[in-house]
Amino acid sequence: MSGSALVTGASSGIGAATALLLASQGWRVFGTSRRPPTAAQPGVEWIEMDVRDEDSVRAGVALARRRAGHLDALVCNAGFGIFGSIEEVPLATAREQFDTNVFGVLSCVRAVVPDFRSRRAGRIVLVGSLAGRAPIPFQAHYSATKAAVDSLAQALRMELAPFGVAVSLVEPGDIRTAFNDATDFSWASRSAYGARIARCEEVIRCSLDRAPDPTVVARRVLRALSARRPRTRYPVGPDSRLVPLGRRLLPDWIAERLVRLHFQV
């Protein structure tokens, strides 16, 4: 399958890798970002769009439709992370996290679904995270947003199934991107949690440095968009299978202890 696809957060990392791979496979790709890159990406048509602004999303989706005639797929990838304790991260900062990672997804989905439903065709891929099923200490806000995306994907899949619209969740573990650079770690430096939060930050930074590159996620997105019968979940990376299995099979106290040992908290 190929066609026209809108990819949010396509200026870097997983979004950029996905947009480029889809374009190389014959898709017409519309990449969105609040600040489109200055360097050209072959085969990617850029639309300036802020997923936090519903008017911006509607205008961006409408522009892509005018150019392509219709959209065949939506890939919701835009997102960012914050690092800090639940106690210390301000609610305003937490709301910003949810505005992008959750309500940004909802805005994009709401903008494309009426057309997909009326045409009885379309694919939606939401980029979640292993953190949605195995929350990370001192990244509770990010983990919670990805848990919400997990639930949205499952419910949306059931709602749209009778209309021939397929919904899948691509679920990466650690992926080596500029995500660390975009994550706000500033709260750790003045935290009451001292050495524990500092050790956790170091584990997260080191894990991402050793992780696979974003092309492994892009290939899963392509599989979800191309499969005759798309699956609900597409795990990515070695830890994305083992960790959920452990959370499902182990008692909570053992699973929690293993997570605390891993992150040194």
Q: Where in the sequence numbering do the catalytic residues fall?
A: 142
Place of tokens 């489109």: 36
Q: Which residues contact 158 (CB under 8 A, 6 or more apart)?
A: none
> Cα(196)–Cα(176) distance, rounded to whole angstroms?
24
DSSP 131: G
Residue pair 17/218 in contact by the 8 Å Cβ criterion: yes
Distance CA 133, CA 147 (A): 6
Cα 146 to Cα 178: distance, rounded to the nearest angstrom: 18
Instruction: Compute φ and ψ for 230, nearest 5 degrees.
Output: -60, 140
Cα distance between residue 140 and residue 131, in whole Å = 9
């797929």: which residue's tokens? 73
The residues with which 31 forms a beta bridge, in sequence order, are: 7, 46
CA-based max dimension of the chain: 55
The helix/strand/coil state of 74 is strand
DSSP reduced 3-state for 170:
strand
Contacts with 236 (C-beta within 8 Å, 6 or more apart), sequence order: 170, 171, 172, 173, 175, 216, 217, 220
